């Protein structure tokens, strides 16, 4: 079951260690979310036309970074990488992580076969006009954008209105 709220039953002991994933965890995470989806179908914001989808995770600073698309949300994920051990945190704790794109706030969460991971919701619920194809592409694009360096345009030396407008169009 998907856990992101702290309670006595799903709280992880703080002295426990969470082993990292040696192999890319995308398929495992997608399978876990498909199990969760069975319990979410009755919710009013559940989108039958949107699949559970996780593109291949990428390693960033020795952690697995990925995305999860479900019929109800789109989230950024962080899981421990190969040869990593995380100190267990209390499910529901918040933590901010800096990425090249921007700093995001994550929640400590867990699933049956993923003892702990960090999740940050980007869209929840999903927009009603978002098609399956666009949702899958958006998931892939968000992962690419998250790890991309931000680019700033050089300001024009002559800052009159005409030159500023021309620089914005380039």
Q: What is the 3-state secondary structure (H, E, C) of 73-142?
A: CEEEEEEECCCCEEECCCCCCEEEEECCCCEEEEEEEEECCEEEEEEEEEECCCCCCCCHHHHHHHHHHH
Which pTM does this prediction carry?
A: 0.80
Residue 138 domain-assigned (yes or no): yes
Least reliable range by pLDDT among 42-56, 66-80, 142-156: 142-156
- The enclosing domain of 47 has a CATH number of 3.30.1460.40
Least reliable range by pLDDT among 28-32, 126-130, 157-161: 157-161
Domain count, the chain: 1
- Structural domain boundaries, residue 138: 17-169
Residue 66 domain-assigned (yes or no): yes
Cα separations in angstroms, 131 against 26, 28, 37, 47, 136:
22, 24, 18, 10, 9
Residue 9 domain-assigned (yes or no): no
pLDDT, tens only, 79-109 = 999 999 999 999 999 999 999 988 999 999 9
């Amino acid at each position: 079951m998907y856990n992101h709220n702290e309670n006595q039953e799903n709280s992880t002991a703080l002295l426990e260690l969470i082993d990292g994933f040696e192999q890319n965890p995308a398929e495992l995470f997608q399978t876990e979310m498909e199990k969760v989806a069975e319990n979410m179908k009755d919710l009013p914001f559940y989108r039958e036309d949107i699949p559970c989808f996780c593109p291949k995770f990428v390693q960033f600073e020795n952690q697995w970074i990925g995305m999860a698309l479900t019929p109800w949300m789109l989230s950024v994920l962080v899981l421990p990488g190969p040869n990593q051990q995380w100190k267990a945190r209390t499910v529901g704790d918040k933590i901010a992580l800096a990425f090249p794109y921007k700093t995001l706030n994550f929640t400590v969460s867990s699933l049956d076969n993923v003892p702990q991971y960090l999740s940050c919701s980007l869209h929840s619920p999903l927009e009603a006009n978002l098609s399956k194809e666009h949702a899958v592409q958006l998931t892939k694009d968000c992962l690419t954008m998250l790890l991309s360096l931000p680019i700033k345009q050089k300001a024009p030396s002559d800052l009159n209105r005409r030159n500023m407008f021309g620089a914005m169009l380039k």
